[in-house]
């Protein structure tokens, strides 16, 4: 057989494989673009919703007449409208139900606890069973049972509520007030670790039950996708603890190939107005403190102070992770 014949035979055999590989490569590329688009749509919708949430929360103390529940309802409505418009289904009842059906639960992280917006089943006024999204009562950020018989409820700042199971006494104050009876509270790092565990475990436990309930209702709602517990990294929880906000979970948006779409988005509403922390270098040591710290204001005015070394931090954990030590004067 001549060389040209071998060449033709080679092309006939290899050609279809090259064609299939090219199609698969283009499909994977389009799939990545589609998933990135979903991420962007979800993030933008959450950020828009928490912006509205923050605006209305500030009006609660004014003449706006808003209640805490009003602000939650407005934020969820804005979140859903943003998603409906992004997917081009606004006004299309079936399309809106499909988009909403990809979000089993929305969590509002608030100062002293969290509120879930998720599916529930109840009896309507005409006696028929109704399955729809509703609001669940606020739950606290409950920590593990501490040695000595103490239960602790945490907040998004340094305030804790300690319940003494031996005598039924309830105490509230900064975590440092209870350092003598709760060992983890003897250091800022110990408290932050305990608080992170309390918030994440409380929310994740409740989230798992809401997802299981959603799956049990899904077949009756026409939802074919089975939701599973989302992966939430520790870094996401640390970011969530910086302020009040919303956690939104989405799964099941249509994809072109591979595993199904899964994502979560957090938006901080910047409601707590935490004191700003600054870091600086002094005598060869990296220090972080409150921006209003008297010691910082004093050395900041001295000749030779390294003004170029001053940086800002969102919280103490952020500063500590970059090698800065807390100020002994203001104890941030």
315 versus 307: the higher-pLDDT residue is 307
User: Rounded to an integer, what distance in angstroms lies between the CA atom of residue 119 and that of residue 108?
Assistant: 15
CA distances from 177 to 24, 166, 172, 191, 264 (A): 62, 19, 9, 12, 36
Residue 307 reports pLDDT greater than 70: yes
Between the CA atoms of 266, 135, 143 and 43, what dihedral angle is there, to the nearest 10 degrees? Answer: 0
248 band by pLDDT with thresholds 50, 70 and 90: confident
Reported as a single tens digit per residue, the pLDDT across 158-181 is 899 999 888 889 999 999 999 988
Which of 264, 259, 257, 263 is closest to 31 using CA atoms? 257
Q: What is the pTM of this model?
A: 0.72
User: Rounded to an integer, what distance in angstroms lies between the CA atom of residue 68 and that of residue 56?
Assistant: 9
pLDDT at position 43 is 86
Q: Which residues contact 98 (CB under 8 A, 6 or more apart)?
A: 89
Q: Which residues contact 210 (CB under 8 A, 6 or more apart)?
A: 104, 105, 116, 118, 119
**Residue ranges of the domains in the chain?**
17-143+176-268, 277-326
SS3 308: helix
63 versus 304: the higher-pLDDT residue is 304
Residue 23 reports pLDDT greater than 60: no
Q: Average pLDDT for residues 110-116, to the nearest whole number?
A: 92
156-161 contact pairs (CB < 8 A, 24+): 156/109, 156/110, 156/111, 156/112, 156/199, 156/241, 156/243, 156/244, 156/272, 157/111, 157/272, 157/274, 158/191, 160/185
4 versus 67: the higher-pLDDT residue is 67
User: Rounded to an integer, what distance in angstroms lies between the CA atom of residue 201 and that of residue 192?
Assistant: 14
**94's torsion region: left (phi>0), alpha (psi -120 to 50) or beta?**
alpha
């Amino acid at each position: 057989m001549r060389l040209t014949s071998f060449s033709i035979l080679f092309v006939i055999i290899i050609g279809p494989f090259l064609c299939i590989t090219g199609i698969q490569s283009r499909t994977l590329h389009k799939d990545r673009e589609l998933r990135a688009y979903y991420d962007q749509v979800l993030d933008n919708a959450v950020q828009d919703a928490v912006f509205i949430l923050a605006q209305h929360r500030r009006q609660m103390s004014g003449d706006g007449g808003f209640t805490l529940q009003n602000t939650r309802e407005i934020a969820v409505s804005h979140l859903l409208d943003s998603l409906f418009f992004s997917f081009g289904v606004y006004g299309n009842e079936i399309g809106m139900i499909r988009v909403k059906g990809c979000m089993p639960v929305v969590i509002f992280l608030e100062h002293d606890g969290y509120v879930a917006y998720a599916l529930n089943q109840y009896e309507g006024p005409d006696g028929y069973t109704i399955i729809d999204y509703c609001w669940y009562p606020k739950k606290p950020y409950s920590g593990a049972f501490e040695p000595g018989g103490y239960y602790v409820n945490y907040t998004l700042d340094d305030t804790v509520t300690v319940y003494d199971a031996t005598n039924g006494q309830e105490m509230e104050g900064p975590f440092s007030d209870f350092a003598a009876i709760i060992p983890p509270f003897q250091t800022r790092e110990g408290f932050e670790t305990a608080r992170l565990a309390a918030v994440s475990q409380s929310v994740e436990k409740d989230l798992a039950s809401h997802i299981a309930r959603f799956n049990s209702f899904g077949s009756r709602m026409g939802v074919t996708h089975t939701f599973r517990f989302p992966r939430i990294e520790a870094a996401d929880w640390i970011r969530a603890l910086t302020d009040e906000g919303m956690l939104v979970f989405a799964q099941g948006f249509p994809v072109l190939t591979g595993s199904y779409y899964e994502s979560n988005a957090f938006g901080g509403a910047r409601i707590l107005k935490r004191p700003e922390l600054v870091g600086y270098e002094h005598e060869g040591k990296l220090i972080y403190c409150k921006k209003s710290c008297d010691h910082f204001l004093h050395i900041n005015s001295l000749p030779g102070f390294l003004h170029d070394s001053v940086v800002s931090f969102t919280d103490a954990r952020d500063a500590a992770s970059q090698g800065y030590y807390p100020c002994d004067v203001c104890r941030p």
